[in-house]
Amino acid sequence: MTHAGGILSGGHGRTSRFAGHAGPPPRPGTLPSPPPDRLPDGFAVELAATTHRSRDGHLMLGGSPPRLLRLGAAAVRLLEDGGFVVTDDASAALARRLLDAGLVHPRPPLSPVHGTTVAIPIRDRADQLDALLTALRADPSTSPLPVLVVDDGSQDPDALARVARRHGARLLAHPRNLGPAAARNTALREAETAYVAFCDSDVIPEPGWLAALLAHFGDPAVALAAPRIVALPPAAPPRALDRYEQVRSPLDMGSREGPVVPVSMLSYVPSATIVVRRSAVGAGFAPGMRVGEDVDLCMRLHEAGWRLRYVPSVRVAHRHRTDLRGWLAQRAGYGTGAADLALRHPGRVPPLYAAPWSLAACALLLRGRPAPAATALALTALTAVRVARRMPDADHPVRAGTLLSLAALRGTAEQLLRCATRHHWPVAVAAAAVSRRARYALATAAVAEGLADHYRSRSSLGPLTHTAIRRLDDLAYGWGVWQGALRRRTAAPLLPRLALPARGGAAKRPWEPRPLTPTSHQPATATVETW
């Protein structure tokens, strides 16, 4: 392989010239919209474990952002057994709405894997490529598939060429480093299959992973499916950072299945391993973005009307970075991408997203005086009454309204804690330098948030060790956010967003979420839909 000339090297000794990099990389244009096809007959859905139903089954609450649906008699009958199978237009329309709301999850049947290319963007790391290709060839479901390895300007291209040749993978070489987005786009242009499965070189998928993800493309509106990214067990006894990454990796989106929707609990999925419908993603990732290109793609697909699914039952192991210097640099690097994302998608990546009433209530509670605290409780009670009035046919309207309003208040308080210790820590530190009260408040927030996270994550670290690493994590990421904001001369990634009720209770687009009340990063408007 002649690396400098941009040569393709096949796994069986064939070579061909690759002219895909003679000019500048393509700019991702407007993505196509999904086809109008309805869900096919035989498509099954199952109620999500987090969905709550009234005793008569006519009211459903759940999803992210959470929303309330009032169902008609026919819909209630379909859901009597906790799920149903699409058989006609009416059941297909109901299944679509419930899927988009996150109230049900798809349960598609598995089918043989075909029509898929596995694409691996890489720069050096020949040993990791060898491990990944070995795992792919050992998996009966992926061993016969074509594999494209995109060498993105390696310093030792011959090492990668030897590994690719040994495993029968086709190698595409960039003459210089263009970034992971450009490398993935090269694979998209060269792939000839309907689906492309992207795997970073530092992952090891579990057997059967691809079949479980491809099954979700039985929904013609699904453009992307992603597994859960978990930590690869370290070869040596785990150190503190290893154990922290096992529960707090930014690539691990958690155990809750659902649709990927901006400004929700599951607002994006990382591209460490994803499967995409090639006809949906157009030119692919934004080639100018070296950080956050996966978040950008998720948001553009959502804006175009496509559905994205997160499937945590499928697990892919990832080699997390655990040397302190590299780990901090990685976290700061992630933060620098926030400015580009905030400019490309205004209002979609706010550090804080809450209703005005809950922000006002939290501000009053922070005063620490009886009169402001009483006013905050009155605001919460008023919101509870308003929410209860929207669901008079609930089993316990007042109780439901109270619990939802308290959840909204708690979610806003948690977001404020995160802002003070993560995105806005330079401002918080500056305030603490001149105010004893701010100093006590910041110290309390830093310790309380860390201890709460230790409890939620069930970390194997000691509480103080976990809290200390958590604070380093936030300091590095927040520093990156400020670096990116200063570089782009914008305050966009630092600005909060107020959650205001949609006029008439309708969202801008039929596939966008229609929220009820927040738990975290979710608005506090009460919208009731009838089906």
3-state class (DSSP) for residue 83? strand
- For 20-68, the pLDDT digits (tens) are 333 333 445 689 999 888 999 999 999 999 999 988 888 888 887 788 8
Give residues with Cβ within 8 angstroms of 345, minimum separation 6. 262, 296, 299
Record the pTM. Answer: 0.87
Distance of CA 333 to the CA centre of its chain: 17
Please give the pLDDT value at position 395.
80
d(CA 193, CA 234): 35
Buried b (16+ CB within 10 A) or exposed e, 52-90: bbbeeebbbbbbbbbbbbbbeeebbebbeeebbebeeee
- For 68-109, the pLDDT digits (tens) are 888 889 999 999 999 999 999 999 999 999 999 999 999 998
Please give the pLDDT value at position 235.
75
Task: Give 10-residue mean pLDDT values along the chain (531 residues).
Answer: 34 35 45 90 94 89 84 91 94 94 93 92 95 95 94 94 95 94 96 96 95 95 97 85 93 94 92 96 92 95 96 95 90 95 93 91 87 90 88 83 89 91 94 91 92 94 96 96 95 90 44 33 41 54
Given a contact cutoff of 8 angstroms between Cβ atoms, the answer to whether 207 and 192 are in contact is no
Distance of CA 441 to the CA centre of its chain: 31
Please give the pLDDT value at position 67.
81
d(CA 317, CA 427): 37
